[in-house]
Amino acid sequence: MRQYIFITVVVFLSAILAFTFFIGPPVDPTLLKPAEFQYPTSNHTSCPTGANTGSLGISEDIETKEGATYNLRTPSNYNKSVEHPLIVVYAPAGTSASKSERHVHLTKTATEAGFVIAYAKNLRMSVKAIEKLASIPNDIQKKWCIDSDRIYYTGHSDGGTIANALTFLPSIPNKPTAIAPSAAGMDAESLKQYACPSPLPVMVFHNRDDSHFDGFGKQSADWWANCNQCSGEMSPPDQHGCSTYKNCPTTSKTYYCEGLGGHSTWPNKNAMLVGFFKQSK
């Protein structure tokens, strides 16, 4: 299994040039600032005050003992005595945590919804790198007040592939609650080498004009739908371009969302992505 992932690395690395030279459109700076979360008055306080060392707002260049690096954002009024859901965003090949944040611009939307969100710095793809990146959620839980039952992964290109791999690789012990990979470099041929993980909610994003990984998104979504015990039938696309696989268990809803643009384009359905994570518990 480890040997096969090195074979597929050749495919993953074909996206490096796209992101080494990728310069996205200007981003509204307000989307990169942590927002205030309206905490419910009936908050359940699970983390003792003073037990967590993580700061509110913006934290930069945090390194885990395993060697992975990430930036982290909390709601601007972060309450360290309340458990928060966590989103980890894995970066495209050759992309820093800061550049990944600008690319997906999820900070305001996520923190406004009460999430803590982390942006991982990309590591060159290998099994060892994936295992290092798996240390990020554990490191965050030691420093911030996080609900361990609500941990979510997303990412674009290499980042989408990593979000997938962290979920199904047997060498990774801690699994996410739900994932939303985008533009991942995994097709049916590569995925069939792996055993299905336990069912979980999955929302696959892939652009129609992705020439790097043409058709990979639908193949990946079909694999997840089968693992999640859904039927092969799908609903027609909704206004966001998302189709729902039919007859999925309520705990493993599976979606395929196709949009316009090429490989480098983030799907930019941030409110829907955060909403999907929020309802996946």
CATH of domain 2-37+65-198+269-275: 3.40.50
Residues 211-233 pLDDT 10s = 999 999 999 999 999 999 999 89
Give CA–CA dist 214/181, Å, rounded.
15
Q: Which of 114, 106, 118, 110 lies closest to 64, judged by CA?
A: 118
Among 40-44, 71-75, 93-97, 238-242, the least confident range = 40-44
* Whether the Cβ atoms of residue 184 and residue 161 lie closer than 8 Å to each other: yes
Q: What is the largest CA-CA distance in the chain?
A: 52
pLDDT per position as a tens digit, 43-85: 667 786 656 789 999 999 999 999 999 999 999 999 998 999 9
Q: Where are the domains of the chain?
A: 2-37+65-198+269-275
Per the listing, tokens 């859904």 go with: 230
The residues near 233 (Cβ < 8 Å, ≥ 6 apart) are: 245, 246, 247
Spatial contact of 213 and 263, defined as CB atoms under 8 Å apart = yes
Identify the three-state secondary structure at position 80.
Answer: coil
Query: What's the gap between Cα 257 and its chain centre?
Result: 15
